[in-house]
Amino acid sequence: MDKLIPDLPFNTSTPNAEALRTEELLKDREVIKRALDYYLDSPRPYSAKPRRPSTMFLVSPDSDNESLLAQACESLASASVLASDFATNLIGLQRNTALAIQQIIMLAGLAVNRALDNVDPQG
């Protein structure tokens, strides 16, 4: 469908049009840079206060690495069993998704077990 009224041509004949357009582009670039810096977690000079994590669930700072890795290993093993049990009640794509989640959990468990072996090779 054709328009009855055509678009007006972009008029660059005014002397300041090019300067105004350049100024607009510079402002746009500055806004884009600030947005990217904010969302890509670059250092934020305009951030008022640093993020303080919640202390509702706090891991004791004096816990040793072996205990932390053993706990993570047990948690991942439990999550793997839960995902596997959950997948048995599903069919089709949902079952495949649940099994993929269970496989990711198992791979994380293998990595934690290897780290645990590196911490205590005799055990």
pLDDT given for residue 50 in this prediction: 72
Q: What is the pTM of this model?
A: 0.52
pLDDT at 35 over 70: yes
Query: In the chain, where are the structural domains located?
Result: 65-119
- Cα distances from 72 to residues 54, 110, 111, in angstroms, run 20, 11, 10
> What local confidence, expressed as pLDDT, does residue 44 receive?
54
